[in-house]
Amino acid sequence: MLSISKAEKSYIQAGLTASPPSRSDGRGLLDCRSVALETGVAPLANGSARLSIAGATEVIAAAKLDVETVDDGTEGRDGGRLICTVSCSPSAYPNLSSSTLDDLQADLTSLLHTTLTHPTLHPQNLGILPGKKSWLLSLDVLVLADGGNVLDALFLASRAALWDTRVPRTRGVEYKARGRTAATATGGQGEGGRGDMDVDQEVQSGFDSRMIHRATDFELPDYWDEGEVLEGRERWPVAVTLNLEPPIHFLDATSQEEAASPLRLLLAFAFPQETPPVMQAMRMLGPGEVVLTELKELIKAGENYARAMHAALNTKLREEEVRRNQRARERFELHR
C-alpha cells in the first residue's frame, strides 16, 4: 500500500536479513506487537469485537443476525447463511484512490468470505424453522487504521466477533387444524429442539380450501440471557501471515516492512479440540517465488505460530466473557 523509496526499502531489507536481524522497533523476527482486544463493543450487534495491534492497526468486527425466509426464489437457505464483508475506511488508506480502495475491499472480502463460509465451518444452529425461516449471519469487518498486518487482524477480530455472537432462542409456534390429531408437533420445532411448543386449537371451517393445514411461525421467548453461542465456535480459524524475505521470514510486519518485502504467505489454521489442526486457507500474496522445500518448512512453522496465537486468543476471549458477565451482574445489582 505504502510506497517507499528504494533507499528505505533496501535499508529495511538489509536490517531484516542481517545477523542478528534488526527491525525498526527493536523486535525480533518472530515477535508480534502487542494486541489489544475487547468484545461486545457494539451494543446493537449480536457479537462484536475491536482489535488493535499496537495502536497502529485497528479493526472492528460485528456480527448481526437477520431472519430470512427460506424460499425457492430467495437467497435464503435451510440451516442459515453467513456473509462476510470487509470495508476499509478511507482514513486508513489516505493515499489510495477510491477505486483502488474498492478493489482492496473486494479482495479482503473475498478472502475472508471464502475462508469463513466454507461448508465445513458452518455453524449448525442457524436454522429456525426447517424449510421456512433461518438466520442470516452477516459479519461486517471495518478497517479503521492500517499499520501493517491487516490480514491477521481481520481474522483475529472476525474470530472474536463470531465467538461472542449469541443466537437468540426461538420457539416454534404451530396452528393446528382440528381433527388432525396425527399431525403431532414435529415439523414446527426449530433445529436443535429448543423451547416448548405452543399449540393453538383452531376451529376448522368447512369452506377452508387451503392446501396447507399447518402454518408454522416462531416467537422469541423472553429469557435472561441473549441466547446461545454459535455451534462449533472453536473451529473458526486464526490466520498468520509469514512475510518472506528469503532466506528468512518474519511475523507481524509494519506497513513499511510490508512495502519493503511484498511476498507474503497467509496461512489460516483451525484447532478443533479432539482432532489434529486443519488448514483452512492458504494464499501466496505478492510478487515472488518459493521453492517447494522452503514451503514445507514455512507451513510447519506457520502452524506453530498459529497455535500460539490461537491459545492466546482463546485465553483472552474467555477472560472477556468473565469480565462481561461480571459487569452484567453488577448492573443487575444496581437496578434491583
Partner 1 sequence: MAQANFDRRRINGPEESHPPIFGAEELVHGSRWKAGQPRDSRKPEDIRRIFLKSGLIDQANGSAYIETERTKIACAIYGPRQSKNTSFNEKGKLNVEVKFTPFSCDRRRAPMRDAEDRSIAVAIHQALISSVRLELLPKSTIDVFLTVIEADGIEGCIASGIVAASTALADGGIEMIGLVVSCAASVVGSETWLDPTEAETQSSEGTVILSCIPALGTITSLWQSGQMRQHDVLRVSLLVPSRAYF
Our finding on whether 277 is near partner 1 (CB under 8 A) is yes
Interface with partner 1, residue 75, by CB under 8 A? no
CB neighbours of residue 149 within 10 Å: 27
Minimum CB distance to partner 1, residue 59 (Å): 21
Task: State which H helix or E strand residue 326 sits in.
Answer: helix 292-335
How many residues of this chain bind partner 1 (CB under 8 A)? 35
* Among 296, 318, 323, 331, interactor with partner 1 by CB under 8 A: 296
Q: Residue from 5, 120, 186, 201 that binds partner 1 (CB under 8 A)? A: 120
> Which of 21, 168, 232, 288 is the binder for partner 1 (CB under 8 A)?
288
Restricted to residues 188-217, the positions that interact with partner 1 (CB under 8 A) are none
d(C-alpha 229, C-alpha 231), whole Å: 6
**Least distance in angstroms from the C-beta of 187 to partner 1:** 24
Count Cα neighbours of 281 within 13 Å in the Cβ-side half-sphere. 24
Pairing of strands 278-285, 264-270: antiparallel
Smallest gap from residue 115 Cβ to partner 1 (A)? 7
Under the binding rule (CB under 8 A), the answer on residue 285 touching partner 1 is yes
The residues, ordered by sequence, that sit 6+ positions from 232 with a Cβ below 8 Å of its Cβ are 121, 123, 124
For the segment 93-112, give every residue that binds partner 1 (CB under 8 A).
Answer: 103, 106-107, 110
Q: Which residues share a beta bridge with 53? A: 35, 57
Nearest Cα neighbor of 305 from 32, 12, 110, 121 is 32
x-or-dash pattern for partner 1, window 236-265, by CB under 8 A? -----------------------------x
118 binds partner 1 (CB under 8 A): yes
Among 281, 305, 310, 313, binds partner 1 (CB under 8 A): 281
- Piece of the chain touching partner 1 by CB under 8 A; list 44-52, 217-225, 291-299, 326-334: 291-299
CB of residue 266 vs partner 1: minimum separation in angstroms?
10
Contacting residues for 115 by C-beta, under 8 A, at least 6 apart: 155, 237, 239, 268, 280, 281
Longest dimension (CA), the chain: 90
134 binds partner 1 (CB under 8 A): no
Nearest CA to 162 out of 268, 45, 266 is that of 45
Binding-site member from 41, 215, 295, 317 for partner 1 (CB under 8 A): 295
Told to check if 297 binds partner 1 by CB under 8 A, we report no
User: Binding segment for partner 1 among 22-30, 81-89, 183-191, 269-277 (CB under 8 A)?
Assistant: 269-277
Of the candidate residues 4, 30, 282, 317, the single one contacting partner 1 (CB under 8 A): 282
Query: Is the C-alpha dihedral spanning 57, 162, 116, 137 positive or negative?
Result: negative
Which of 142, 279, 301, 312 binds partner 1 (CB under 8 A)? It is: 279
Instruction: Name which of 3 and 209 has its Cβ closer to partner 1.
Output: 3
What CA–CA distance (Å, rounded) separates 336 from 321? Answer: 23
**Mask 53-72, x = binds partner 1 (CB under 8 A)?**
-------------------x
Q: Does 273 bind partner 1 (CB under 8 A)?
A: no
Cα separation, 303 vs 310, in Å, equals 10
Cα torsion angle, 63, 68, 74, 75, sign: positive
d(CA 329, CA 257): 45
Helix (H) or strand (E) holding 86: strand 81-88
Dihedral sign, CA of 319, 52, 10, 286?
positive
Binding residues (CB under 8 A) for partner 1: these are: 72-73, 103, 106-107, 110, 114-115, 118, 120-121, 265, 270, 276-292, 295-296, 299-300, 303
